[in-house]
Amino acid sequence: MTARVMDGRACARALAAGLADEVARLRDRGGRPGLAIVSAGSDHGAALYGRRLQRLSAEFGIGHAARPLPATATQADLLGVIAELNADPDLSGILVLRPLPPHVDESAVFRALDPAKDVEAVHPENAGLLTLGVPRFVPSTPAAVFHLLDTWLDAAGEDRADFYHRSRIVVVGRSNTVGKPAVALGCAREASVESVDVWADRTGGLGRHTRWADVLVVAAGRPGLIRAEHVTPGAIVIDVGINASTGSDGRVRTVGDVDAASVAPRAGALSPVPGGVGPVTDVWLLRSTVRAASLRPGSDRTLLEVP
């Protein structure tokens, strides 16, 4: 068996077509979608991501404002910027790029966000709503994982509810921004879900967990972590990792957490890196930004049809 490729670019294009219509409808009603991107320091990956989002926002006619701060920015500097952005009526969504400098308390910055503009659901109120299964916003990367998977199931003619009810999902990586919300989304679909972090690997048992999976979601930030022996034959493998790898020719390439060459002959389906989860993530974030522009102040209504 050779895994079929889960084409994230095609999935993103379909999502983008719906987004263009949403932007047009919102503008007809006088809505003003706008994304603020806050960063501190000079992390290469964060800078690339920020620039990509600005380009994409411009393509969709969505306002955008970058607020790059130096690595020496203080907690008070960041909170000051967040307060300004919260009050700006032209900005419906605020994204705080990680990593923040080590002297900054990330959770205090997240708590300062207006929950109605917190499109990545990092404010405790939004993280709580997501865990309860009634999200205001669904964080873009785990949302992209499940949107890609739902799209795949639809194309395969699978009944989604039937598939999730009988399936075992293992999520490798347990960050607040990717792994934990992915677990919440699996639970919302009433699948059986297991969360695995670095300790399972250190205690020698990663494969014991991952081989249990009908769907294996990998978000650890470790290139080549998942190899054929970690995967049960026919499993769907979704690679979230984005890592820079220097080849023997000295060229730097982007690779995932899955060793695609060894896993592809064993898996039923595999999302590639690049071209898998990433493109869907970008469009999803803009979609949340557009939907945030139609939120009334104080509203906690669920914005997205897929929890």
Regarding 12 and contact with ligand NAD (CB under 6 A), the answer is: no
**Alpha-carbon gap, residue 26 to 19, rounded angstroms:** 10
CB 306 within 8 A of CB 146: yes
Q: What does the buried/exposed string (b/e) look like for 77-105 if buried means 16 or more CB atoms within 10 Å of the residue's CB?
A: ebbebbeebbeeeebbbbbbbbebbeebe
> How near is the Cβ of 100 to ligand NAD at its closest, in Å?
12
Minimal distance, residue 178 CB to ligand NAD, in Å: 4
Report how many residues bind ligand NAD under the rule CB under 6 A.
26
> Is there a contact between 217 and 238 (Cβ–Cβ < 8 Å)?
yes
Q: Which is nearer to ligand NAD, 262 or 294 (CB)?
A: 262
Residue pair 143/135 in contact by the 8 Å Cβ criterion = no
Does 141 contact ligand NAD by CB under 6 A? yes
C-alpha–C-alpha distance, residues 300 and 287, integer Å: 17
Q: Which residue is nearest to ligand NAD (CB)?
A: 175
Which residues make Cβ contacts (< 8 Å) with residue 231, sequence separation at least 6?
Answer: 210, 211, 213, 216, 237, 263, 266, 267
**Interface mask (CB under 6 A) for ligand NAD, residues 178-217, using x and -?**
xx----------------xxx-xx----x-----------
Per DSSP, 10 falls in state H
Tell which positions 248-267 bind ligand NAD, by CB under 6 A: none
Binding track over 82-121 against ligand NAD, x by CB under 6 A: ----------------------------------------
Q: Output 80 or 224, the one with its CB closest to ligand NAD.
A: 224
**SS3 state at 24:** helix
Is 175 annotated among the ligand-binding residues?
yes
> Interface residues with ligand NAD (CB under 6 A)?
141, 172-175, 177-179, 196-198, 200-201, 206, 219-222, 225, 240-243, 277-278, 281
